[in-house]
Each structure stands twice: as structure tokens, then as C-alpha cells.
Amino acid sequence: MPIYDPVMSRLHGRLAAVTGAVPLLLLALVGPSYAAGGSLQQCMDQAVNHNGEPPTCTKVNGQWVASWPDDGGLAGGPGGGIPGGFVALFVLALFVGIGITIWKVSTARQLARQSGMDPNVATGITLLTDNGLDATYVASSLRGRTQPDAAAPATPAAPPQTASSRLEALKTLLDGGMVTQQEYDERRKAIIDSV
């Protein structure tokens, strides 16, 4: 039995909306080349002008108009259509959008893994909200890193100081004016007592 996941459900809904909108957008941009016409019979009579090939008749604003597949289209032939530059720009924008989405998702998943969060939740948040990557970054920053950073070198442990070296350091602080005589006397006594 499949488990209901609201994040994936919304993702599927948005994906379905985008996939349904793309053909409508292309149809609106390309559009058929229409011949003159009014009634359905007048539309069908346009076949005479195209070597007997019957047209596709569509009712637009109450009038039947004829169109043929070879009237233009994406190639931008003599019948109209979209110029190649617009098609190239559309394809380029589509690839840039896909690339940015892939980058956002991979970055969100990496941030989630580093902070011990679920990468699938980070993917859903990134895809379904406008500020998903920002939200994942803030959540991972607040949560902190759970894996040690490989780039951070281990700091060596300082060797234990002897009483004489501690007294010398204290004397240097007194000579430098960083501690008062009273503070020096108190710390000196504490160091000697600890031996």
C-alpha cells in the first residue's frame, strides 16, 4: 500500500501543471496559419487552393478558419511561425532553468546530509517553495554539522606547563604591566601551592 506523502503529492501536481502548460504555450506561440473563411463549407472549400488537400477547420471567434500542416510552424517558413531565434532563446531558457533547479536541489541535499537532516525532505522543500534552498541553509546552520570537517586540521594538545614556566610567564605579565603586583602575588602563591 503506497504511503501518502504531501511533499511528493504537491511535486507531482506542479509537474502535471507544467507538462500541461507547455503544449498550450507552444500552440499559442506557433498558432496555425489561417485562411479566410466564415462557414464550415467555406473552410472545406479552401482545399482547392492547396492542391485538393483538405484543411483542418477550427472555429475561431464564431468563424471557421482553415489551416494546413505545411503553412509554417516552428521552421518559420513562408506561411509564418516562430522565427528560429525565439525557439533557440526558449530552449536556452529552458536548459538554464533546469540547470539552476538541479544545482539548488544538489546543494540542498548536501547541506541536509552535512547537518544530519533527511536529504529527501530538503529536496521537497527546495522544489516546492520559492525559498526552499534558503530554508534548508538556515535549518542546517541552526542544527550544526554532525560529520567532522575533513579540511579542519586537528589541533595538537599543548604540553603541560611546569611550575617554573608558569612563574616565568606570570613575571613577564607583571613586567609588561598586564597584571598588578597584588594579582602577581596571588597567582604566584597559587602556582607554588599547586606543586
Taking only the tens place, the pLDDT of each residue in 40-83 is 888 888 777 777 788 888 888 888 888 877 665 444 444 456 77
Is position 137 within any domain?
Answer: yes
Q: Mark whether 92 and 140 lie in a shared domain.
A: yes
Return the pLDDT at 191.
86
Q: Mark whether 105 and 72 lie in a shared domain.
A: no
Is position 16 within any domain?
Answer: no
Is position 24 within any domain?
Answer: no
Q: Mark whether 87 and 130 lie in a shared domain.
A: yes
Model-level pTM?
Answer: 0.36
Q: Mark whether 93 and 130 lie in a shared domain.
A: yes
Q: What percent of the chain has pLDDT over 70?
A: 66
Is position 28 within any domain?
Answer: no
Is position 11 within any domain?
Answer: no
Is position 2 within any domain?
Answer: no
56, 101, 128, 134, 146 from 113: Cα distances, Å: 56, 18, 19, 15, 9
Q: Mark whether 91 and 141 lie in a shared domain.
A: yes
Q: Mark whether 109 and 134 lie in a shared domain.
A: yes
Task: Please give the full DSSP string across the chain, using - where no structure is assigned.
Answer: -PPP-HHHHHHHHHHHHHHHHHHHHHHHHH-PPPBP-SSHHHHHHGGGGGTTPPPEEEEETTEEEEE-GGG-GGG--TT----HHHHHHHHHHHHHHHHHHHHHHHHHHHHHHHHT--HHHHHHHHHHSTTHHHHHHHHHHHH---SPPTTSPPPPPPPPPPHHHHHHHHHHHHHTTSS-HHHHHHHHHHHHHT-
Is position 15 within any domain?
Answer: no
User: Which of residues 150 and 102 earns the better pLDDT score?
Assistant: 102
- What residues does 35 pair with on adjacent strands? 66
Is position 7 within any domain?
Answer: no
Residue 181 sits in which domain range? 163-193
